[in-house]
């Protein structure tokens, strides 16, 4: 893979750490690109108190930010999450030298709020960044206004998504949509919108296999990107029909009524749901949550949401389950994906069994 270093930090110490990390990345076979070459990932050196975003050349470019913390902060996880969002990074490493020790500590955080603390070692940092820099997003949608239903028309699948979105809220596993504008100025919000087409961060999603509309392939109704699942409105607003996936162009194919908000996009996990419905025909519904359940199989790597690698990993785990269409699997340091013959079955199985905090595993 090709990478570059974007150095906007004022810290000579951070430059020293960045030199070590660059050597480690190169020793693993990656190539430091020339300034005008396109890259697979960027090492973005930032200051924790004024994190700057690297302006990506393309959506697929992964940004790994690295910061240095000299003074202790009251809540390291929140400070790192704020720096991650403000620098629009896919992952952030913070090297900590706050206890006067000669041996620095480190932590990493992802947009899925996978947060781990460890001793600083270039080897360990490379090991944690590898799943991110080596994975591929499937975030693009191809929107077609070919849906035979009207905007807001109520069909059984849509009715159930509205009902069970509210149930998720009652179970306490639905963080309110995170208002990006509180963290980001207009320029950064616009940048983020152009890149990922998100207007807010809202974790979790639901989908139900489509039976009402004839599409001739694997199709399902799913919640849109960055919407409040506890207050879903309907078709064309925040519930979409996914009618397929174009592997060539890497686009999810979305069917919409004649009138719709052109900025609407399906949840970033649409590729995961698509592969599950296609692989396991008895699956009638899928729920993804940032919560946990005991005694589940879980992935060994922390791939980002919305990547084909995460989707394929989840399908691989489901294949190992005795009943793939009616089970739950874990996404390491991230959450769970639950399958069922229908959405009611899923909620009967998870109610009273969910842990609202995700255990962090090294």
Residues that bind Zn ion (CB under 5 A): 305, 335
Least distance (Å) between residue 268 CB and Zn ion: 8
CB of 257 or CB of 335, closer to Zn ion: 335
Sign of CA dihedral 88, 91, 97, 98: positive
Phi, psi angles (nearest 5°) of residue 23: -60, -45
Biggest CA pair distance of the chain: 66
Least distance (Å) between residue 199 CB and Zn ion: 17
Least distance (Å) between residue 269 CB and Zn ion: 6
Least distance (Å) between residue 285 CB and Zn ion: 17
Least distance (Å) between residue 183 CB and Zn ion: 19
Least distance (Å) between residue 201 CB and Zn ion: 10
Determine the 3-state secondary structure of 278 from DSSP. Answer: helix
- What is the rounded CA–CA span in Å between residue 307 and residue 136? 5
CB of 283 or CB of 333, closer to Zn ion: 333
- What is the rounded CA–CA span in Å between residue 160 and residue 156? 6
**222, 239 contact by CB (below 8 A):** yes
Give the residue nearest to Zn ion (CB): 305
DSSP 222-241: EEBTT--GGG---BTTTEEE
**Distance from the first to the final alpha carbon of the chain:** 25
Closest CA to 303 of 187, 153, 137: 137
**299, 330 contact by CB (below 8 A):** yes
Phi, psi angles (nearest 5°) of residue 196: -115, 0
Least distance (Å) between residue 259 CB and Zn ion: 30
CB of 85 or CB of 305, closer to Zn ion: 305
CB of 120 or CB of 137, closer to Zn ion: 137
CB of 5 or CB of 201, closer to Zn ion: 201
**257, 151 contact by CB (below 8 A):** yes
CB of 17 or CB of 164, closer to Zn ion: 164
- What is the rounded CA–CA span in Å between residue 16 and residue 11? 9
- What is the rounded CA–CA span in Å between residue 218 and residue 315? 15
CB of 128 or CB of 303, closer to Zn ion: 303
CB of 125 or CB of 358, closer to Zn ion: 358
Least distance (Å) between residue 56 CB and Zn ion: 21
């Amino acid at each position: 893979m090709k990478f570059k270093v974007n150095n906007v930090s004022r810290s000579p110490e951070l430059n020293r750490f960045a030199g070590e990390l660059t050597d480690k990345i190169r020793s693993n076979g990656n190539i430091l690109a020339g300034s005008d070459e396109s890259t697979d990932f960027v090492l973005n050196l930032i200051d924790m108190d004024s994190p700057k975003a690297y302006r990506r050349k393309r959506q697929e470019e992964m940004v790994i930010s690295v910061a240095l913390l000299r003074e202790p902060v009251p809540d390291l996880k929140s400070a790192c999450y704020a720096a991650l969002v403000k620098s629009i990074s896919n992952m952030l490493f913070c090297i900590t030298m706050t206890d006067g020790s000669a041996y620095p500590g480190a932590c990493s955080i992802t947009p899925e709020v996978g947060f781990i603390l460890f001793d600083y070692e270039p080897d360990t940092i490379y090991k944690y960044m590898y799943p991110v820099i080596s994975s591929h997003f499937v975030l693009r949608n191809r929107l077609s206004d070919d849906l035979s239903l009207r905007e807001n028309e109520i069909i059984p699948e849509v009715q159930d998504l509205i009902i069970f979105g509210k149930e998720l809220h009652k179970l306490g596993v639905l963080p309110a949509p995170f208002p990006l504008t509180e963290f980001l100025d207009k320029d950064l919000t616009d940048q983020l919108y152009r890149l990922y087409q998100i207007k807010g961060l809202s974790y979790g999603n639901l989908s139900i296999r489509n039976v009402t509309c004839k599409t001739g392939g694997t199709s399902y109704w799913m919640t849109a990107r960055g919407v409040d699942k506890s207050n879903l409105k309907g078709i064309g607003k925040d519930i979409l029909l996914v009618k397929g996936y174009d592997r060539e162009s890497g686009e999810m194919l979305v069917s919409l009524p004649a009138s719709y908000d052109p900025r609407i996009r399906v949840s970033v996990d649409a590729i995961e749901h698509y592969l599950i419905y296609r692989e396991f025909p008895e699956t009638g519904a899928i729920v993804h949550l940032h919560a946990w359940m005991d005694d589940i199989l879980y992935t060994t790597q922390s791939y980002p949401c919305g990547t084909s690698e995460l989707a394929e990993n989840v399908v691989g785990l489901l294949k190992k389950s005795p009943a793939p269409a009616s089970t739950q699997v874990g996404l390491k340091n991230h959450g769970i994906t639950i399958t069922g013959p229908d959405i009611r079955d899923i909620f009967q199985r998870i109610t009273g069994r969910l842990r609202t905090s995700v255990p962090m595993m090294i």
